[in-house]
Every structure is written in C-alpha cells, then in structure tokens.
C-alpha cells in the first residue's frame, strides 16, 4: 500500500499523530531511547555559558533549567556585575565566573562538561577552539563562523581534542519541522518541485549585526541562514547551481558596512528549484516562512523560524489537510538542543548537526555572496 492509499484510510487526526511519531522516531532515533536509559537517570551535563546576551539569558539558560539533562555551573562574561546577577539566579559559585581574559582557566574546572557559545559571529571560532583545547564539548550558535577557514579550524580543533561540536540549528530538532520533513519523505505531497522561503525584519541602528567585522555579512548571515538550511533539510539534497543578487535601498547609515537585502535561487540535483530572500529592511511576518510545492500537494510553515508559534499547514495526496499550530512554547526548542548534546556526549554519538553542517552552510553562503558580486566568506 503506497503513501497515497494509506492516507485515504486514515482520519485526519490519525494521520497527524502517526506523522509526528514517525518524524520524531526517524529523525532523532537515539534521543528517546537514551533519555529513558536508566544508566543516565539523574545525570547532568554541566554547562558553561559563554556570552550573556539575549539568546543566552532569555532562552538557553532557562532551557537548561527546564531540561532533564543539564545544569549551569559556570559563566563567561566581560561584565562582572551582570555575571554575578545571573550566577545568583542559577547558583553558580563565584570562582566559576570567568572573563574573556581568563577563559582558558575553564580547563581546570571539573564542574564544566560543555560550553554554550552565544557570542558575536566573529568570536565563535576563537572561543570554540579554546574550549576544545580545554577539553570541553561545544554547542555553538549559528552562523558557525564568519569564514570557511574558521569553520574548518573549529572542526579540526574539536576532532583533535576528541570533544563534540554541535551547531545550534534548533529547527532541526523541532517536532513541527520534523513532521514537515517526514511528510515530504513519505511522498504525501508527491515529488517536490519548488520551494520558497523568506526571513527578515527591519533592523534597528546600532546593532552589532550591522558591523561587518563582527557579523561577517548582512541578513544572510543572521536570518537568511534559516531559509538556506531549511531548503537543505527539506529536500535532503545539497544545492548545485546558485544565482544571487543583493541590494541596499535605505541609505540611512545602517547599511554602510553590510547589505540590506539578499535574494538567491538554488537548483538541486533532483531538479528542485528553491527561491529565497532575506532582509534587514522589510518585514517577513515576524518569523519567516517556507512553502514546498509537490506534484500531489503542498505544505507550508508560517511562521516557520521563531522561538514559538510555528504553524504547519498542508494539502496532501488523498485530500487530507493539515492545520497544526505548534503546541510548545519558548524555550523548548532550546531544551531539545541541550538534551541532544547531553545524550551525544554520554553515548559517544555524533550530534545531528555537527560542525560539518555549519561549515556547509558557510560554504554555500560564501557562494551566494560571490554570485551576488559581494566579498565571499
């Protein structure tokens, strides 16, 4: 019985439940089993948070507290007063508060297993490599770095030190994104023909992301990477031909160093065409979107990339419709990331989104910039 025949025999509720279960089981086969393993019951991966900005304080640190596998045991910040306030909230002892200057001393701290790097893009490589040399596992925010060379150095350093390197592609751990992948793989919408995706927002003046040295580039590096990565995991293919353009429309001082808009198209080996845009000048609906066009149906997620509130809709073969809002609230995407690295450390497995995944996106973004007539990464 094919996917189309099967879908006709199930109710909408049954199909949604089975698809979600298959997505989780197929894409993350080890997580549930490992989490249930009595050997790891009560065990904690001890985290050092490197950089106390919005994403760490408002999202990742609360996620670690909610997780079953993690505990915050150290902090790294250039602002001692801020660090002490956070330390009081998470019961981090004063000797485990570090500055960027004495960061290497984490090597001596036996209460640190892994670091979470939430620094400006240009600092990812340095602090990942230093963490590896200190013998600590690494969860690094995306984009992985600001150059292909730095990404390769990060991968090499972690391999040499025999520590795990995971890039924080939270959407690849999100149940709704996993369901979208499973629907495509099952043939529910037929052969994929084309994908559209966009993500952007009007950026405020003064953001470090407008500094080319710190950010590496404009919106492509910050939010365009979501559309790029989504096209890769939705198709399960690596793009071949890439064409691109960039523009700056608002000459108000914000875009003296980085571009305002990027648009690019990709052709995949199967013939699938993808069209993506990203912007620091326009609004793409508060969380971006993607839409996948198949020969027997379609699926879309809008918003697709925010921390909460994602919404999947689809019309699939056999006349089944899906309209499924995300039940989870922030910071559960971050909880899943923290739990995944913990399980990988304890079972000595490679993360689902290793350094090589981050490297591939940087290589592709470098090609996009080159195709747009900008300086490659």
Residues with catalytic annotation? Answer: 142, 226
Contacts of 329 (CB under 8 A, 6+ apart): 308
At 23, list the tokens: 């997505």
At 281, list the tokens: 């000048």
C-alpha span between 71 and 177 (Å, rounded): 27
Q: Does residue 135 contact residue 115 with C-beta atoms inside 8 Å?
A: no
Write the CA distances from 222 to 14, 314, 322, 328, integer angstroms.
38, 28, 30, 24
At 191, list the tokens: 């052969």
C-alpha span between 302 and 286 (Å, rounded): 9
Partners of 97 in beta bridges: 75
**SS3 category, 14:** helix
Q: How far separated are the first and last CA of the chain, in Å rounded? A: 48
**SS3 category, 366:** helix
At 336, list the tokens: 């899943």
Partners of 192 in beta bridges: 294
Stated as kind and residue range, the H or E segment containing 247 is strand 241-247
Q: Which of 336, 334, 341 is nearest to 60 (CA)?
A: 334
**SS3 category, 331:** coil
Stated as kind and residue range, the H or E segment containing 71 is strand 70-76
Residue 301: count of CB within 10 angstroms of its CB: 28
C-alpha span between 128 and 158 (Å, rounded): 8
Q: Which of 57, 138, 116, 139 is nearest to 330 (CA)?
A: 57
C-alpha span between 205 and 254 (Å, rounded): 6
């Amino acid at each position: 019985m094919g996917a189309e025949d099967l879908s006709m025999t199930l109710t909408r509720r049954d199909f949604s439940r089975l698809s979600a279960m298959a997505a989780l089981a197929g894409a993350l086969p080890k997580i549930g089993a490992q989490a249930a393993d009595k050997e790891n019951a009560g065990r904690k991966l001890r985290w050092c948070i490197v950089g106390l900005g919005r994403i760490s304080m408002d999202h990742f640190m609360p996620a670690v507290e909610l997780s079953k596998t993690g505990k915050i045991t150290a902090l790294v910040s250039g602002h001692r007063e801020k660090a002490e306030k956070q330390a009081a909230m998470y019961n981090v002892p004063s000797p485990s508060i570090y500055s960027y200057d004495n960061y290497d001393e984490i090597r001596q701290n036996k209460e640190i297993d892994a670091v979470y790097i939430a620094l400006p893009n240009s600092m990812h490589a340095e602090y990942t490599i230093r963490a590896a040399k200190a013998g600590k596992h690494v969860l690094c925010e995306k984009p992985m770095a600001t150059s292909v060379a730095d990404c390769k150095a990060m991968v090499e350093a972690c391999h040499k030190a025999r520590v795990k390197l995971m890039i924080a592609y939270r959407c690849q751990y999100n149940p709704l994104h996993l369901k979208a992948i499973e629907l495509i793989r099952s043939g529910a919408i037929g052969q994929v023909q084309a994908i559209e995706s966009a993500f952007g927002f009007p950026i405020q003046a003064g953001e470090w992301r407008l500094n080319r040295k710190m950010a590496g580039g404009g919106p492509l590096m910050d939010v365009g990477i979501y559309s790029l990565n989504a096209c890769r995991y939705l198709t399960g293919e690596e793009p071949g031909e890439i064409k691109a353009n960039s523009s700056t429309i608002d000459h108000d001082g914000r875009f003296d160093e980085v571009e305002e808009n990027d648009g690019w198209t990709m052709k995949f080996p199967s013939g699938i065409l993808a069209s993506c845009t990203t912007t620091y000048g326009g609004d793409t609906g508060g969380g971006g979107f993607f839409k996948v066009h198949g020969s027997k149906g379609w699926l879309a997620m809008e918003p697709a990339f925010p921390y909460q509130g994602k919404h999947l809709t689809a019309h699939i073969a056999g006349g089944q419709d899906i309209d499924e809002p995300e039940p989870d609230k922030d910071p559960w995407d971050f909880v899943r990331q923290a739990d995944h690295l913990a399980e990988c450390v304890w079972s000595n497995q490679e993360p689902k989104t290793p350094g090589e995944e981050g490297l591939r996106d940087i290589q592709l973004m470098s090609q996009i910039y080159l195709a747009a007539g900008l300086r490659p990464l």
